[in-house]
């Protein structure tokens, strides 16, 4: 006789969250002295959303694991919320009812205020004016009295609504601080049963690992700039949400962009041969051996001797003849009882419809001919009644034993976690394996749907779309706490100092402003995925920007806003002339002058960008005459938006200095043309 399972508590120590789902590791708190014989440890209180096929166990010490399986425990009051969650629900209902009462009172008061005494109808009995005025005044006084009473009730209801709203906010704050398992109340749980072999050697540790599907994450970053943006600290962060009905407290966290479940099968290259047919390739299926039923003779004998004698079968009930009701309409249950011998019995029972009878068939009909009664509704092909010989053949076929189920020797037989052994009481299929995929619990489906509907954080990017061709893994430097409320929580993973370079950027052809940009080098050995980055300067939040993916050793650039201490002014002058013997060519020379003034206390690099006009027709000629100082071509490939005709100047802007840049270019075209908007171009 096997001993009863020994209860054993456990705690979550490690969690690795994937793009969808997570791998949870629990460590058992072993008792001081374990029996020397075989013992089964029961680790209870585990989330019911775990995947039973992913369960693994590892023992450290001198004892080995013999078996590992799970058991689902459903309490009697399953689904009832916890005390804190129940109070929130109760207060929400009370607040909703109080709000409805307030709206009802206000609506009644508004209706009374809209009432006005009506004058006497024409043609009616004329009353004295004094009596009519007196009646109107009495009606107005009555209306005012009831309106005052309703206003007093509305004020009382308003105070009640405000009090309930305050209590509801307090209850929600209290519930947010409670563990998720307590909020969920009595919900189904799983118990992991680990059977250890016999031995006197101590068991040092026991860990189990299982997969859950209700978890996901989004990358995020924080950049803190100090000393005038000359130094920076970059924090690798993440938004993590999980709804596994258990809280992750003080766990070592890892984040991965990989898929939790992935089919890893080597490709099979089939050869094409000309000639005789080749035998089919072998599979994992093996036919049941001969004499399989002989293995169950002892089981049949034991169950037959232990089972009480079966009572004699009662005689079949005599079904009374059926008479159609008036109007020829059969209700659903009556139609199902009449059509129990026909093919429409199941259909009449499942569909919520009424079956109409012909008006010419109100007389009683024997029950044995009920099959022909519904022949016009699809019981037989073409609406013809079923022949007596065919019905006897069908009855003989129904009495014959059903053949054993056929097994398809396909790839499904290699999924050993999906194979189950049939019930030995079923003589046709006992002793045989059946491929039946496990169906997830409704609570598992609901939790996965809840985590998929979790709102994405601001500027957040799903790792499934931004991970690229390779998967990456990020480790948290400290333990974290993550409640299972399906809300994204921002956590710190790693911090590192990064080299920062500040530059100014001006494009005066588009806007007379100078922008400050900072460039940070990636200080981590891993890449940085796309996501939001919060930029702080001197402890104050400056902005939240969107960061593109950056590889290891790469650099990221984001703007810090307009630099007000640097001014830029752009001036354009145009001079038109003609060329050729007969003046057939018009030449428009443009001179662009850009002046930059700095009031910064320290020198800073500056990138000044300009652009020549671009025209895709040979009728107009664009020529650069002079650039002072000399410019370099710029195609804007570093920004991911290439362009033509770009020019760039890069120099260091000294404190209090003023720089001047001059650009001259010429547009030459036929005199019979004119530039749209005039030949003077800015």
Quickly list DSSP for 365-382.
B-GGGHHHHTGGGTTSGG
Mention every residue, 6+ apart, whose C-beta is less than 8 A from residue 225: 231, 232, 500, 518, 535, 536, 537, 538
Contact 233, 496 (CB under 8 A): yes
**DSSP secondary structure letter of residue 383:** G
Q: Judge contact between 175 and 85, C-beta under 8 A.
A: yes
Residue 612 belongs to some domain of the structure: yes
Q: Is the pLDDT of residue 395 over 50?
A: no
SS3 177: coil
Query: 382 or 143, which is more confident?
Result: 143
Helix (H) or strand (E) holding 135, with range, is: helix 129-176
Statement to judge: residues 46 and 191 lie in one domain? yes
Beta bridge mates, 11:
27
Residue 45 binned pLDDT confidence (cut-offs 50, 70, 90)? confident
Higher pLDDT, 394 or 99: 99
Q: Match 């992991």 to its residue by tokens.
A: 192
pLDDT of residue 235: 93
Q: Is the pLDDT of residue 460 over 60?
A: yes
pLDDT at 283: 64
For residues 357 and 647, what is the distance between their CA atoms, to the nearest angstrom? 89
Q: With a cut of 70, say whether residue 596 has pLDDT above it.
A: yes
Judge contact between 585 and 574, C-beta under 8 A: no
Task: Write the DSSP assignment of 556-573 as a string of letters.
Answer: EEEEEEE-TTEEEEEEEE
How distant is the alpha carbon of residue 87 from its chain centre? 28
Q: What is the pLDDT of residue 251?
A: 94
* Whether residue 582 sits in one domain with residue 628: yes
Let me know if residue 87 belongs to a domain. Answer: yes
CB atoms near residue 525 (< 10 Å)? 8
Q: How many CA atoms lie within 13 A of 63 on its CB side?
A: 25
Average pLDDT over residues 306-331: 50
| 502, part of any domain | no
Q: Would 500 be classed as within a structural domain?
A: no
Residue range 613-629: mean pLDDT, rounded: 81
In degrees rounded to 5, what are phi and psi of residue 338?
A: -70, -35
Q: Residue 236 has what pLDDT?
A: 94
Q: Tell me, what's the pLDDT at 219?
A: 94
Neighbours of 220 (CB within 10 A): 27
pLDDT confidence of residue 217: 95
The candidate with the shortest Cα–Cα distance to 233, out of 549, 478, 500, is 500
Q: Is the pLDDT of residue 565 over 80?
A: yes
Q: Which comes out higher in pLDDT, residue 347 or 628?
A: 628
Interior/surface letters 389-419, b for 16+ CB within 10 angstroms, e for the rest: eeeeeeeeeeeeeeeeeebeeeebbeeeeee
Mean pLDDT computed over 430-445: 69
Residue 387 has pLDDT above 60, yes or no: no
* Alpha helix segments (H runs only) across 208-331: 297-306
Specify if 158 maps to a domain.
yes
108 and 22, same structural domain? Answer: no
pLDDT tops 50 at residue 379: no
Give the position of tokens 């020019």. 647
Report yes or no: 259 and 253 within 8 Å, Cβ to Cβ.
no
Q: Indicate if the pLDDT at residue 337 is higher than 50.
A: no
What residues form DSSP beta bridges with 612? none
Neighbour-count burial for 552-588, b at 16+ CB within 10 Å, e otherwise = eeeebbbebeebeebebebeeeeeeeeeeeeeeebbb
Q: How far is CA 496 from the centre of its chain?
A: 31
Using alpha carbons, list the distances in angstroms from residue 371 to 5, 351, 366, 368, 376: 57, 19, 10, 7, 10
- DSSP letters of 205-227? EEEEEEEESSEEEEEEEEEEEET
Is residue 39 located within the same domain as residue 169?
A: no
Token couple for 269: 């290259």
Q: Which residues pair with 626 in a beta bridge?
A: 664
Q: Using CA atoms, how far apart are residues 241 and 214, in angstroms rounded to an integer?
A: 8
Residue 31 shares a structural domain with residue 92: no
91/174 same-domain check:
yes
* pLDDT tens digits, 156-207: 999 999 999 888 888 877 776 666 655 555 678 889 999 888 877 788 889 9
How far apart (Å, rounded) are the C-alpha atoms in residues 671 and 578? 8
- pLDDT grade for 358, boundaries at 50, 70 and 90: very low
Residue 223 in this model has a pLDDT that exceeds 70 = yes
Pairing of strands 531-537, 215-226: parallel
The predicted structure's pLDDT at residue 238: 94
- Among 162, 195, 212, which residue terminates a domain? 212
Residue 635, domain member (yes or no): yes
Task: Answer yes or no: are the C-beta atoms of 66 and 196 closer than 8 Å.
Answer: yes
Report the first-to-last Cα separation within the chain, whole angstroms. 98
Residue 400 belongs to a domain: no
Region for residue 117 given its phi and psi (left: phi exceeds 0; alpha: psi -120 to 50; beta: otherwise): beta
Same domain, residue pair 20 and 65: yes
Query: What DSSP line would sit under 473-509, residue for residue?
Result: EEE-SS-EEE-SSS--EEEEEEEEEEEEEEEEEE-TT
275, HSE (Cβ side, Cα atoms, 13 Å): 5
pLDDT in tens, 359-378: 333 333 333 333 322 223 23
For residues 379 and 371, give the distance between their C-alpha atoms in angstroms, rounded to a whole number.
Answer: 7
Q: 75 and 155, same structural domain?
A: no
Whether 416 shows a pLDDT value over 80: the answer reads: no
Question: Angle 83-113/129-176 helices, nearest 10 degrees?
Answer: 160
Q: Is the pLDDT reported for residue 399 higher than 70? A: no
Q: What are the structure tokens assigned to 490, written together?
A: 């921002």
Q: Report the DSSP pairing between strands 433-435 and 215-226.
A: unpaired
* pLDDT value of position 657: 83
Domain residue limits at 190: 6-80+186-212
Is the entire prediction scored with pTM above 0.85? no
pLDDT, tens only, 66-115: 888 888 887 776 555 667 777 888 888 888 999 999 999 999 988 888 88
Confidence tier at 294 by pLDDT (50, 70, 90): confident
Quickly count: other Cβ atoms within 10 Å of residue 541's Cβ. 10
Judged against a pLDDT cut of 70, whether residue 357 lies above it is answered with no
Asked if pLDDT for residue 285 goes beyond 80, the answer is no
Residues 626 and 601 in one domain: yes
Give yes or no for residue 459 having a pLDDT over 50. Answer: yes
pLDDT at 202: 80
Give the model's confidence band at 532: pLDDT under 50 very low, under 70 low, under 90 confident, else very high: very high
Same domain, 88 and 172: yes
CA distance 645 to 611: 5
Q: Decide if pLDDT at 345 tops 50.
A: no
- Same domain, residue pair 87 and 44: no
pLDDT at 331: 39
User: How many domains does the chain contain in total?
Assistant: 3
Q: Identify which of 32, 421, 417, 4 has the alpha carbon closest to the alpha carbon of residue 195.
A: 4
| Residue-level pLDDT at 364 | 37
Q: Cβ distance 570 to 512 under 8 Å?
A: yes
Q: Can you tell me the distance from the alpha carbon of 210 to that of 23, in angstroms, rounded to the nearest whole number?
A: 6
Strand 604-611 versus strand 489-506 pairing type: parallel
Half-sphere exposure at residue 470, Cβ-oriented, CA atoms within 13 angstroms: 9
- 105-116 exposure pattern, b = at least 16 Cβ within 10 A, e = fewer: bbeebeeeeeee
Residues 588, 667 contacting (CB under 8 angstroms): yes
- Among 509, 511, 514, 545, smallest CA distance to 607 is for 514
- Are 33 and 113 in the same domain? no
Segment 501-522 mean pLDDT: 88
With CA atoms as reference, report the closest residue to 560 among 540, 541, 539, 543. Answer: 543
Is residue 365 packed enough to be buried (19+ CB in 10 Å), middle (13-18) or exposed (0-12)? Answer: middle
Which tokens belong to 38? 């075989």
Res 133: pLDDT: 77
53 part of a folded domain: yes
Percentage of the chain surpassing pLDDT 90?
18
Q: Which of 454, 532, 527 is nearest to 255 (CA)?
A: 527
């Amino acid at each position: 006789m096997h001993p009863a399972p020994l209860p054993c508590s456990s705690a979550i120590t490690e969690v690795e969250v994937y793009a969808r789902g997570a791998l949870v590791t629990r460590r058992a708190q072993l008792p001081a002295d374990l029996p020397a014989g075989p013992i089964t440890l029961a680790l209870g209180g585990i989330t019911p959303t775990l995947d039973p096929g992913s369960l693994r166990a590892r023992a450290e010490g001198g004892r080995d694991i013999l078996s590992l399986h799970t058991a689902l425990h459903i309490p009697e009051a399953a689904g009832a919320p916890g005390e804190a969650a129940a109070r929130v629900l109760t207060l929400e209902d009370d607040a909703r009812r109080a709000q409805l009462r307030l709206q009802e009172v206000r609506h009644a008061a508004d209706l009374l205020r809209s009432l006005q005494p009506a004058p006497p109808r024409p043609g009616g009995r004329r009353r004295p004016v004094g009596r009519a005025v007196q009646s109107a005044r009495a009606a107005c006084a009555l209306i005012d009295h009831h309106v005052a009473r309703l206003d007093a009730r509305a004020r009382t209801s308003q105070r009640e609504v405000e009090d309930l709203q305050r209590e509801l906010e307090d209850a929600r704050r209290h519930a947010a601080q409670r563990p998720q398992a307590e909020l969920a109340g009595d919900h189904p749980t799983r118990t992991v049963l680990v059977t250890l072999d016999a031995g006197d050697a101590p068991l040092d540790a026991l860990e189990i690992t299982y997969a859950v599907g209700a978890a996901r994450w989004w990358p995020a970053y924080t950049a803190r700039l100090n000393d005038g943006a000359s130094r920076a600290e970059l924090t690798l962060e993440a938004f993590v949400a999980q709804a596994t009905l258990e809280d992750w407290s003080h766990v070592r966290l890892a984040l991965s962009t990989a898929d939790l479940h992935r089919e890893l099968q080597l490709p099979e290259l089939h050869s094409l041969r000309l000639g005789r047919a080749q035998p089919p390739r072998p599979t994992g299926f093996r036919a049941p051996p001969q004499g399989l039923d002989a293995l169950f003779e002892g089981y049949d004998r034991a169950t037959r001797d232990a089972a009480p004698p079966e009572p004699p079968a009662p005689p079949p009930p005599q079904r009374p003849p059926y008479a159609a009701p008036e109007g020829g309409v059969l209700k659903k249950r009556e139609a199902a009882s009449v059509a129990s011998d026909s093919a429409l019995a199941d259909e009449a029972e499942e569909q919520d419809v009424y079956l109409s009878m012909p008006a010419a068939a109100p007389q009683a009909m024997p029950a044995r001919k009920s099959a022909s009664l519904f022949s016009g509704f699809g019981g037989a092909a073409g609406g013809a009644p079923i022949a007596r010989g065919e019905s006897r053949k069908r009855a003989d076929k129904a009495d014959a034993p059903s053949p054993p189920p056929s097994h398809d020797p396909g790839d499904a037989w290699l999924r050993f976690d999906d194979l189950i052994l049939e019930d030995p009481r079923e003589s046709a299929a006992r002793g045989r394996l059946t491929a039946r995929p496990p169906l997830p619990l409704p609570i598992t489906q609901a939790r996965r749907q809840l985590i998929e509907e979790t709102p994405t954080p601001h500027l957040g990017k799903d790792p499934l779309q931004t991970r690229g061709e390779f998967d990456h893994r990020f480790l948290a430097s400290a333990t974290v706490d993550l409640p299972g409320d399906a809300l994204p929580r921002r956590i710190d993973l790693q911090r590192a100092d990064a080299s920062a370079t500040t530059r100014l950027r001006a494009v005066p052809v588009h806007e007379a402003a100078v922008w400050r940009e900072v460039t940070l080098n990636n200080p981590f050995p891993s890449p940085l995925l796309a996501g939001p980055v919060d930029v702080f300067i001197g402890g104050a939040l400056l902005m939240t920007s969107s960061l593109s993916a950056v590889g290891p050793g790469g650099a990221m650039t984001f703007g810090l806003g307009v630099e007000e201490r640097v001014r830029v002014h752009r001036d354009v002058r145009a001079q038109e002339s003609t060329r050729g013997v007969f003046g057939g060519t018009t030449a428009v020379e443009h001179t662009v002058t850009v002046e930059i003034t700095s009031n910064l206390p320290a020198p800073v690099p500056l990138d000044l960008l300009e652009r020549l006009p671009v025209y895709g027709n040979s009728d107009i000629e664009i020529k650069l005459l002079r650039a002072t100082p000399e410019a370099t071509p710029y195609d804007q490939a570093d920004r991911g938006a290439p362009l033509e005709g770009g020019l760039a100047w890069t120099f260091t802007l000294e404190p209090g200095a003023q720089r001047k840049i001059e650009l001259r270019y010429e547009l030459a075209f036929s005199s019979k043309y004119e530039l749209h908007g005039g030949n003077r171009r800015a």
